[in-house]
Structures are given as C-alpha cells and as structure tokens.
C-alpha cells in the first residue's frame, strides 16, 4: 500500500477500460478486437474454475483474427435478439508494472436490458488484465473471471 500511483498510468488503464466498455455497450462490436494487441488473448472463466485450477474457459480467443471471426459469426448467426448491455467498472487497481506492460485488476457488473425494457443483472466479476502501453494502451491479455457459475449459454457479446 503506497501513494505513489503514477496518475498518467492509472488514467491510461482507466481510459482503456472505459473505451472498451462504451464500445460494447454501444454495440460497436467490430471495434472489440482493436482493444487487443495483435496477438492479444481473451478468456472468460468462472471464479470457481479459476480457484480449482481448471483450465476450462467458457470462451477464449487468441489474436485479433480469431476475435474478428467471433464477432462476424455473432453478427451473421443472428442468434441474439436486440438487447443492450451496460458495463459498470470500478476498483481499478494497478498491481504490477514492468517496462512494457501493466498488470491490473478491476471489478465489473453488467446489466442486460431486454427488448421489452426489463433490466436484469447479467454478470459480475473481475477483469484480470495485462496491458501493453506502447504505442498505445491495448490488452495483451484480458481474463474475465465471472463470479457466477451459471451462464446464459448464448452469451452473445463479449464481456
């Protein structure tokens, strides 16, 4: 516990998280891969599996190409009815820094707003991130650890 957080670094991380959340919530899913570095990794897991060391992600993608594919099939498969998401992100903490990357953790809560207007708690959990700083802040790895073991099997959009 120390007071020496670098404001620019903290804001770089917070800004990346904020842009990511707004892109998803505005259904600009095609931008999603661009928040990752070229070989960036994305994974959704449950807290339970993470604690047991079970390498069973609910979903994973490696590299922007695979992410683009995922978004494309999402769009074409047309599996999801119109709905909105709202990400709330807080308690963003930088846990480690080396020359090129930052490790950070943050809490999230996502609500889902259905077509008929109903608002539901959809997911909560932690983001565990490794962020490459140059030339601009991008996720080298984003692990989404959901608190709940229960998932909507469609799990349409990235968290």
Q: How far apart are the first and last CA of the chain?
A: 29
Cα 145 to Cα 6, 92, 137, 142: the distances in Å are: 26, 15, 21, 10
Single out the residue of 122, 125, 123, 121 nearest to residue 144, CA to CA. 125
| Residue 1 binding its own copies, by CB under 8 A | yes
Binding mask 58-77 for its own copies (x = CB under 8 A): --------------------
- Cα gap 55→5, rounded to integer Å: 33
Binds its own copies by CB under 8 A, chosen from 81, 98, 117, 153:
117
| Residue 22 binding its own copies, by CB under 8 A | yes
CB of 5 vs its own copies, minimal distance in Å = 4
Tokens 């903290």, located at residue: 10
| Residue 15 binding its own copies, by CB under 8 A | yes
Cross-strand partners of 98: none
Binds its own copies by CB under 8 A, chosen from 89, 97, 155, 156:
89
CB of 73 vs its own copies, minimal distance in Å = 24
Q: Give 49 or 73: the residue with its C-beta nearer to its own copies.
A: 49
Residue 88 DSSP SS3: strand
Phi, psi (deg, nearest 5) at residue 75: -65, -45
Which parts of this chain interact with its own copies (CB under 8 A)?
1-5, 7-8, 10-12, 15-19, 21-22, 25, 47, 84, 86-93, 105, 107, 109, 111, 113, 116-121, 123-126, 133, 136-138, 147-150
């Amino acid at each position: 516990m120390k007071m020496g957080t670098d404001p620019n670094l903290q804001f770089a991380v917070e800004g990346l998280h904020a842009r990511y959340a707004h892109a998803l919530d505005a259904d600009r899913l095609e931008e999603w891969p661009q928040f990752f570095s070229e070989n960036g990794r994305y994974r959704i897991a449950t807290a339970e599996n993470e604690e047991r060391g079970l390498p069973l992600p609910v979903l994973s993608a490696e590299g922007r190409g695979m992410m683009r594919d995922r978004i494309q099939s999402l769009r074409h498969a047309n599996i999801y009815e119109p709905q909105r998401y709202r990400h709330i992100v807080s308690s963003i903490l930088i846990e480690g820094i080396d020359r090129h990357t930052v490790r950070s953790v943050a809490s999230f809560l996502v609500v889902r707003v259905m077509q008929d207007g109903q608002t539901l708690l959809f997911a909560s959990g932690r983001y565990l991130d490794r962020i490459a700083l140059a030339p601009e802040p991008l996720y080298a790895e984003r692990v989404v650890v959901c608190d709940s073991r229960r998932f909507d099997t469609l799990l349409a959009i990235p968290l």
